[in-house]
A and B are shown apart, each in its own frame.
Chain A
Amino acid sequence: MFIIKYIKEVYRGVKSLLVGMKRTLYYFTHHKEIITQEYPDNRDTLVMAERFKGEVVMPHNEKNEHRCTGCQACELACPNGTIKVIFKNELTPEGKKKKAIDKLVYHLELCTMCNLCVEACPSDAIKMAQTFEHSVYDRNELTKILNNPGSKIMDGVE
């Protein structure tokens, strides 16, 4: 019947509005729920979300060794040419020539933090860091070389 449907609609509408108002009143009275980070003030205690991606880095161990084999998978995966792998030839102790990376050039200014390079890497050589204060006065500082000077590939990583 029309009139019953009408009253039901009014009742349902009012009820759903009241549910919403109850929720916002809860937030209004419970200030501990506030999620605002007062950023420059809380710099020391700032905790970033786990999934936050700030820049690509290459972890080195204490013997200055990294895990990068120079396979170029990251360079191929990158959608906008952010990563360049530059090679050099190394001599192994047996006297053979072996291909190794000279420099892994990373252009932070081009990077969109899409994480595709990290996913493409077969030997887990690169990962995403959580730093986010990237501003510099000279653009050249944004072009980074990820492997440390004089670093070598870790033993056992092929």
Chain B
Amino acid sequence: MWSFSHIANELHEWLSSIFNPTWTLVIEMVLAGVAVIGLFAGLGLVLVLMERRVAAWIQIRLGPNRVGPQGLLQSLADTLKLIVKEGLTPNGADKLLFNIAPFIAMIVAMLLMAPIAFAKDFQLWDMNIGVLYVSAVSSIMVISILMAGWSSNNKYSLMGAMRSGAQIVSYELSAGLSILTIVVLTGSLQISDIIHSQATGWWIFKGHLPVWIAFVTFIIAVTAETNRAPFDLAEAESELTAGFHTEYSGMKFALFFLAEYINVFIVCAIGATLFLGGWMPFHIGNLTDFNHVMDYIPSSIWFFGKTFFLIFLIMWFRWTFPRLRIDQLLNLEWKYLLPISMINLLLATAMAILGWHF
């Protein structure tokens, strides 16, 4: 049967038959890197178009519908425009930091791709601390934003970067605690273990109340971590022009723009892995026939379906809710989300020990 893991194994065997193990590893690493970059480009194009269409329909508009059939080539045309634009560096800027900041944003996004399971047995690196790795690496993102804001030598940029710092430091906590809820229930930090623990049912069904609360907190916290509305204080186009990337233009701006969408994809993939079972098909208890039908759908489709559902959820938030003020933002985290997710973690622990989940 056709599957990603099958293709990967075939490729590995073919390469092994030609090269020695070291060169095979090197070639496979290069191929994986190229595949990740290709995925980035593809995701960037698809997600930008999806965001614009969703936004348009939610705001009772039509959205891009001129370039190509149904406006499908719109984001390609935009990319072309951004490539040919001049990448300006302001005179007063710290040139080195200014120019490497967008690349750090991209590198963080690339690093985060490593532990994500895209399909059954198809994963770049199944390390035993996968979840910890994700939450640790994703907080490096704030460095690129602070770097961009500081080196631009611009009041708006600095303000946006400072807000972003306060925001990400706060929301890391509740994102971490809601991830811990699942880790407590699974008893493992390894991504493949977490997915296999959901073979009998996804955690969102098996774990009932504590997992529902953790899921909602997780979605809110990652929306804040990826700097998207209603938590887009770092950009805040109506008050800070564009926040930390005010001074960026051309391809360097495009990298920030792309990194935002890649990050949205990654956090949604993590959310889908933890709460919705990753590539696990939807199974109902003892309905064998139904479960067999569900098994026929390829695991990659399950994974991307769940991820895009969560992406849609986050876009839906973005175009429904107004932006929070900075004090409201910190109130929401420290007075509501953090206490609730702490109590929720205790509840989940009790549930895991006493076996109250299904």
Q: Chain A residues in contact with chain B, CB under 8 A? A: 10, 17, 20-21, 23-25, 27-28, 31, 33-36, 38
Contact A10 B57 (CB under 8 A): no
Interface centre among A21, A24, A33, A34 (most CB of B within 10 A): A24
Cβ contacts under 8 Å, B54 to chain A: 28
Complex Cα gap A28–B336 (Å): 30
Contact A28 B321 (CB under 8 A): no
Contact A20 B57 (CB under 8 A): no
Contact B320 A20 (CB under 8 A): yes
Contact B62 A33 (CB under 8 A): no
Contact of A34 (CB < 8 Å), options: B60, B321, B340 = B60
Contact B58 A20 (CB under 8 A): no
- Nearest to B335 among chain A residues (CB) is A6
Q: Given the interface contacts A27-B57, A31-B57, does A21 sit within 8 Å of B320 by beta carbon?
A: yes
Q: Given the interface contacts A10-B336, A20-B321, does A25 sit within 8 Å of B61 by beta carbon?
A: no
Contact B60 A35 (CB under 8 A): yes
Q: Is B316 an interface residue (CB 8 A)?
A: yes
Question: Which of B28-68 touch A at CB < 8 Å?
Answer: 54, 57-62
Q: Chain B residues in contact with chain A, CB under 8 A? A: 54, 57-62, 316-317, 319-321, 336, 340
- Nearest to A26 among chain B residues (CB) is B58
Cβ contacts under 8 Å, B317 to chain A: 21
Cβ contacts under 8 Å, A25 to chain B: 316
Q: In terms of DSSP, what is the predominant structure of the interface of chain A?
A: helix
Cβ contacts under 8 Å, A27 to chain B: 57-60
Q: Shortest distance in angstroms between B14's beta carbon and chain A's nearest beta carbon?
A: 46
- Nearest to B230 among chain A residues (CB) is A17
A-B contact pairs, 23 of them (CB 8 A): A10-B336, A17-B321, A20-B320, A21-B316, A21-B317, A21-B320, A24-B58, A24-B319, A25-B316, A27-B57, A27-B59, A28-B57, A28-B58, A28-B316, A31-B57, A33-B60, A34-B57, A34-B62, A35-B60, A35-B61, A36-B60, A36-B62, A38-B62
Contact B62 A24 (CB under 8 A): no
Complex Cα gap A28–B320 (Å): 11
Cβ contacts under 8 Å, A31 to chain B: 57
Contact of B316 (CB < 8 Å), options: A10, A24, A33 = A24
Extra 4 A-B pairs, beta carbons < 8 Å, given A34-B62, A36-B61: A20-B320, A24-B320, A27-B60, A34-B57
Cβ contacts under 8 Å, A23 to chain B: 320
- Nearest to B65 among chain A residues (CB) is A38
- Nearest to A13 among chain B residues (CB) is B336
Cβ contacts under 8 Å, A24 to chain B: 58, 316, 319-320
- Nearest to B59 among chain A residues (CB) is A27
